Amino acid sequence: MPVHDNQGKLKFLIIRFSSIGDIILTTPVLRCLKKQRNCSIHFLTKKSFSSLLIANPYLDKIHTIENNYKEILTALKAEQFDYIIDLHKNIRSTRIRRALGVKTISFNKLNIEKWLLVNFKLNRLPDLHLVDRYFQALKPLDIKNDQEGLDYFIPASEKINLHQFFQDYPLHLKHTTQYIVLVVGAAHVTKQIPKGKLIELCQAIQHPIVLIGGKNETALGQAITQEAGTHVLNACGQLSIHQSASLIEQAWRVITPDTGMMHIAAAFQKKIISIWGSTVPAFGMYPYYKKGVHENTSIQLANLSCRPCSKIGYAKCPKGHFNCMRQISIDQIVNALVD
């Protein structure tokens, strides 16, 4: 029989290995489970993503894997969980569930419906966000969605002081409180806004802009700032994910493709202009806000016959033209900033 901890709490293991956005979308489950049950919550993820959860007050312990799930099995068995909540639901998570042999709750990934939309453009998906599908799966535990949206917790040491951040830049940036964060990277190329479009967008916007992205986007950020003007600041490759989140938290607006940063912005209830290329909001992973807040404007070519071409994205456009991003209207994005 499962062994409760010494405080008599139920012990849950949440599984979500990756990625940034997907892990952030699990946070309402963590919060509601902790607040509505006398429980201990453990989380299993990839080591590279564990920092996203390090400051989350609703977690009791984080377990990580690097390559092989077997490396963690002994430690997980020793915990003697009461329940596993599998929010990844792939072969690896299934093997872990079977190895632990405890009660499991998982959710419907709707892979057949997504396949139909990608391959035949037949939309049989429910008009329901992924977060709400998670809570449907939790009904046997009588866990209810508190409608407070997503969480993102920034360690105090990682918070950006805007005065210090802007002090070495042109005068019109030094004391700004109305800057725009523009996310220039994405895990898959067909989710990324093309370089030329990013330059055109920055040139069309009058407000100060901060570019954020990983080390792989450093050169792209430099190229954009050289072409777009002194109102654009390149922070690509210079910040941790928490520091990028801190800039997002304090931003006036956020322009982003379908990325983890989009979900971080939603966690802070920011006004988002989300740009959609090869993926579509219909997959159920658009910005998720607390009840009563609707701050996202989705920009997409809704009638492009080849969209969506993938549920996650590709390294290059399968058709070779990348019209889903190249034909996005700059005016539509600019107008959405002040709507």
The pLDDT of residue 192: 96
160-338 CATH, one of 3.40.1190.20, 3.30.70.1400, 3.40.50.2000, 1.20.120.1630: 3.40.50.2000
Structure tokens at 257: 């493709």
Task: Name 85's bridge partners.
Answer: 14, 105
CATH architecture assigned to 10-141:
3-Layer(aba) Sandwich (3.40)
- The pLDDT of 313-317, averaged and rounded, is 95
The model's pLDDT over 118-166, given as tens digits with 9 standing for 90+, comes to 999 999 999 999 999 999 999 999 999 999 999 999 999 999 998 888 8
Domain chopping of the chain, boundaries = 10-141, 160-338
β-pair type (232-234, 253-257): unpaired
Give the pLDDT score at 3.
42
Residue 46 bridge partners (DSSP): 65
Name the nearest CA neighbour of 42 among 21, 24, 64.
64
**With pLDDT > 90 as the criterion, what percentage of the chain qualifies?**
88
Average pLDDT over residues 317-332: 97
Give the strands of the sheet with 232-234, arranged side by side. 232-234, 209-212, 180-183, 253-257, 272-275, 296-299
| 317/313 Cα distance (integer angstroms) | 9
Rounded CA separation 208/272 (Å): 16
Q: Which of 183, 182, 156 is nearest to 246 (CA)?
A: 156
Q: Note whether 125 and 284 are within 8 A (CB).
A: yes
pLDDT tens-digit series, residues 163-193: 888 887 765 665 566 899 999 989 999 999 9
Task: Tell me 268's DSSP state.
Answer: T
Strand positions, DSSP E, 16-74: 39-46, 61-65
How do residues 207-232 score in pLDDT, each as one tens digit? Answer: 899 999 999 999 999 999 999 988 99
> pTM for the whole thing?
0.95
Domains 10-141 and 160-338 share a fold: yes
